[in-house]
């Protein structure tokens, strides 16, 4: 059984969807979400229900955990992120998210970590690519 990959807010369960909608800004859209855990050790039967969700939006990465007892919501701005690293080791697959004073390691299942890492890299490229006005105004290219 493969871990679900979420591409919109509508694909989450009702509880998660309502909590996410409360935390998202109006111009923020979900690009990709995956299930993961912060556990480093394999737990039998764990992958039936992922403990956390990593969600990539057009503005940030959200670490979201919703349990019966508490809800944890941490957001990391894409402006302060480096490209994530996905490792495939004998004892499990891990996704490491790094940035300014941030280093989080998540255990992921299958290729979902790699897919998430590529999606974050693509989003970082889009945000860090200089606009056409930068080239025209600052460097003088494109003037007639």
Domains of the chain, each with CATH number or no CATH = 5-128 (2.30.29.30)
> Across residues 23-50, what is the average pLDDT?
72
- How high does pLDDT run on average in the chain? 78
Look at residue 143 and tell me whether its pLDDT is greater than 70.
no
pLDDT of residue 39: 58
Q: Per residue in 7-19, pLDDT tens?
A: 888 888 888 888 8
Q: Per residue in 95-130, pLDDT tens?
A: 888 888 888 888 888 788 888 888 988 888 887 776
**Residue 95 · residue 113 · CB < 8 Å:** yes
> Across residues 50-72, what is the average pLDDT?
83
Look at residue 144 and tell me whether its pLDDT is greater than 50.
no
Q: Would you call 56 helix, strand, or coil by DSSP?
A: strand
- E-strand spans in 78-136? 85-89, 92-99, 102-108
Distance CA 3, CA 107 (A): 12
Share of residues in the chain with pLDDT > 70 (%): 76
**Residue 55 · residue 61 · CB < 8 Å:** yes
Look at residue 46 and tell me whether its pLDDT is greater than 70.
no
Look at residue 3 and tell me whether its pLDDT is greater than 70.
no
pLDDT of residue 32: 92
Look at residue 57 and tell me whether its pLDDT is greater than 80.
yes
Q: Would you call 13 helix, strand, or coil by DSSP?
A: coil
């Amino acid at each position: 059984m493969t871990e679900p990959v979420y591409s919109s807010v509508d694909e989450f369960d009702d509880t998660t969807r309502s909590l996410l909608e409360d935390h998202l800004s109006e111009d923020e859209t979900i690009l990709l979400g995956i299930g993961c855990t912060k556990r480093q050790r394999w737990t039998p039967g764990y992958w039936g229900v992922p403990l956390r969700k990593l969600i990539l939006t057009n503005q940030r990465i959200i670490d979201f955990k919703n349990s019966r007892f508490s809800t944890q919501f941490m957001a990391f701005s894409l402006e302060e992120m480096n490209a994530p690293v996905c490792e495939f080791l004998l004892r499990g697959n891990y996704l490491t998210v790094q940035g300014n004073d941030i280093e989080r390691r998540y255990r992921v299942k299958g290729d979902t970590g790699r897919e998430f890492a590529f999606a974050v890299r693509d989003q970082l490229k889009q945000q860090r690519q200089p606009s056409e006005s930068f080239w025209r105004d600052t460097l003088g290219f494109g003037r007639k």
